[in-house]
Amino acid sequence: MPRESSKRPKFKRSHGPRRRIFIALSVPKETKEEIARVTQNLQKKNFPVVWQDPEKAHITLIFLGHIAQERFEAAVSAVKKVAELQSPFELSTGQLDYFYSSTENSDSVILVGIQDPDRTLRNLYKELRNALGEEEFSPPTRLHPHITIGRLKKQKDRKHQTEMLLSLVEEPVEGKTITVKSIGVMESIPDRGATIAGETTKTRNRLLNDIPLRKNG
């Protein structure tokens, strides 16, 4: 008898509704409170920064983009496979840093760094990449774990932009432990009421699936 092919059929393009989906780790109350304190101090500088709500703080792992329902279900299935083989682990917050963008009309990101001394998060990310790759997603090769706290609007004067960023990241951050017990699959929804120059500047996030890490020991 002919052998069945183990190769997955490629997904057909769907014409149904799509959602903006990403995979992330939640952070505890203590971390959010520290981010709120830091943000409050930085706001006193009155720089053109769109600050994130500390209650929405999270660590983004993989942005999947606007995907249809069947692709969403495939992503959830992939994450569950990885979570079954992963034990809970700990991370910690580092200091402030930034991603500078020289691209036209792109904001620079102000962030709290994430420390992963045992490389557990990076190994988890590798497993997620492999599992999602089997479902025909293409996550980035490298991970830069962080918590976004604000976005500095693009400035015409690059020197001035850099000076503002350097001033912002001088604020000290008290290190907090983050115990990772689950992986979240989330939806990003534009907040139409928050705009600058007609552009949406904020989003609200909705947790669709909170997938526990199940490996014992």
What amino acid positions are annotated as catalytic residues?
58, 146
The residue to which tokens 């000076």 are assigned: 163
| Half-sphere exposure in the Cβ direction for 198 (13 Å, CA) | 0
Q: Please, what is the Cα angle at 76 between 72 and 79, to 5 degrees? A: 140
* SS3 labels along 18-54: EEEEEEEEECCHHHHHHHHHHHHHHHCCCCCEEECCH
Query: Cα 154–95–113 angle (5° rounding)?
Result: 70
SS3 103: coil
